[in-house]
Structure 1
Amino acid sequence: MNSEQHNYCFCTLALRKKYRLLTQQLASDLAKYSPGKSFVVLTDKPADFNNSPNVLAFKHNQRGILHCYHDKSLVMELALSRFNAAIYIDADTTILSSLPDTLTWKPGITAGHCENLVEHVTRYTPERLAHIQKVASHLNIKLQDSPYIGESLFIIARDEGREVEYLKYWAKIGRYLELRGIHAGSGNAMGLAAAKIGWSVAQDGWAEVRNITKHLDASYTNKQNSWDLWKRKLGYHYRLNKARLVALKDFEFFYR
């Protein structure tokens, strides 16, 4: 393990008011239990974090067509441009106790939930398998050896620039799947990207973080008024049409 990976940060997405409020609380938890560590946040309202001194807040408008799950690749890219390793933690998470002072991770990706991608998709969302097979074929990925990676809590550590390549592939694969109506399950794209660049999924150090967190899963309590729903519908169609146009620049990959 690289001792420089002690220079790590936390990061998350905070889009919409509910998640900004949750992230403010999470920032407070991190300041208490992991003092001195930075919290990189992509958010639509950076000013909401002016009173959170451990937060590095950056303006971000949702890129994902329906959801922002694949936008996680963007906040990780930003975090890893500044730190040697980054822990992605969902905004709807609470910290329960202090983190160990000696956390380090192997170069590449570390996650707790990892299983064979084909088996995972066949078990839970078999209707997606044909599209996943197609994108794997486009990128010459050995699908049978590809993992599914749990996306709510994971760590990426610098790996001589391969982390940048990994995040670009994740974003590209995620966009391919979105354009085919697959808006959830970012762990599929994460696993395909890992297979593409030859990463195996490490687990050392993941449990130490997981054991002091509690994931609330606020997505199940997401109530919106008619104005919010209209804005989201409008935003969806705008992002969809924009993504279709941008994808034309790589026609062979996205449309063949």
Structure 2
Amino acid sequence: MNSSFTAKTFCFCTLALGKKYQLLARELALGLKRYAPKAKIVVGTDNPKQFKNCENVISFQQKQTGVLHCYNDKRFVIEKCLLNADAAIYLDADTKIISEIDISVEILGGIRGFSENLLYHVSKYRPEDLEKFQKLSSKLKIPIEEVDWIGDSLFIVAKDGGKEKEFLEIWGLIARYLELKGIHSGQGNVMGLAATKVGWKVRNSDSLRAIARATKHLDASHDVKKISFWQRLQKKSTYHYRLNKARLIALKDFDFYYR
């Protein structure tokens, strides 16, 4: 169950790796400055200099750790945000602020997000991976029927007596497991599994709905540009580096990852 703890402070946060997402994050910050002028946003980015003139941005150096994609690296900006606030409000960098955000709404401990049953979600969108998720839930010792998929473009994680740290740690554990099984996306499934493992029930809330009404997700990930031969070569090289690094880390918990 989610706790009855009420966050007294909060901060927005996002991940901005690569120039396209850095520019989008700057636009997001400008939107927040206009519609929520008292709010700050934490940005994890591979180029913090892009945000040196953004008054409401707290940027920090963050490189991709995900083997193929950076989706699960969102957990690092949540972690950074919770160092200085009771609640982290995550927004994808390609989110546009379209109206004033009510920042007086109550935020309770645990996780808040738009969700649906994970079994239904996986069966509908990636049925070929259902068996892998069933095996993973067994390894985690949680009933997969009780797990929810969580929308990952907007969600809130608030402090809950240390459970938030456990949640982020398990998120990383599950993400690595799935990447080594060839599943490199669908972080909403990962978040749902981690939330269930720490005993959180995913709920909607007035705070989440208020932010959703004031924002529009543009989904820039569908806008894929062609890359050069050398860029493809570099991408392939870094992929294998991260893959081998993940394999080495996984050896420390051989039974979980490989049996």
- Superposition map of 1:147-226 within 5 A: 147-204=148-205, 205-226=207-228
Q: Take 1:89 and 1:249, find their aligned partners in 2: how far apart are those partners?
A: 33
Query: Which residue matches 1:35?
Result: 37
* Equivalent in 245, 250, 255 of residue 252 of structure 1: 255
Contact 1:12 1:41 in 2 (8 A): yes
Q: Deviations over 1:132-158 (max 9, x none)?
A: 112111110111111111111000111
Structure 1 moving runs of 4+ over 6 Å: none
Q: TM-score, normalised by structure 2?
A: 0.95
Query: Which residue matches 1:63?
Result: 65
Q: Deviations over 1:52-98 (max 9, x none)?
A: 11111110110101111111111111111211001100000110111
* Equivalent in 101, 104, 110 of residue 103 of structure 2: 101
Contact 2:167 2:198 in 1 (8 A): yes
Query: Which residue matches 2:238?
Result: 235
- The amino acid across from 1:234 in the alignment is S
Q: Which runs of 5+ in 2 are unaligned?
A: none
Contact 1:6 1:102 in 2 (8 A): no
Q: Deviations over 1:1-53 (max 9, x none)?
A: 655x2410010111000000111111111111111211111100011110111
Number of residue equivalences: 254
* Equivalent in 11, 15, 18 of residue 13 of structure 2: 11
Q: What displacement does 1:229 show?
A: 2.7
Contact 2:146 2:196 in 1 (8 A): yes
Q: Take 1:217 and 1:52, find their aligned partners in 2: how far apart are those partners?
A: 23
Q: What displacement does 1:101 show?
A: 3.2
- Superposition map of 1:92-131 within 5 A: 92-112=94-114, 114-131=115-132
Q: Which runs of 5+ in 1 are unaligned?
A: none
Contact 1:96 1:213 in 2 (8 A): yes
Q: Take 1:57 and 1:100, find their aligned partners in 2: how far apart are those partners?
A: 24
Query: Which residue matches 2:138?
Result: 137
- The amino acid across from 1:140 in the alignment is K
Contact 2:5 2:160 in 1 (8 A): no
Contact 1:11 1:87 in 2 (8 A): yes
Q: TM-score, normalised by structure 1?
A: 0.96
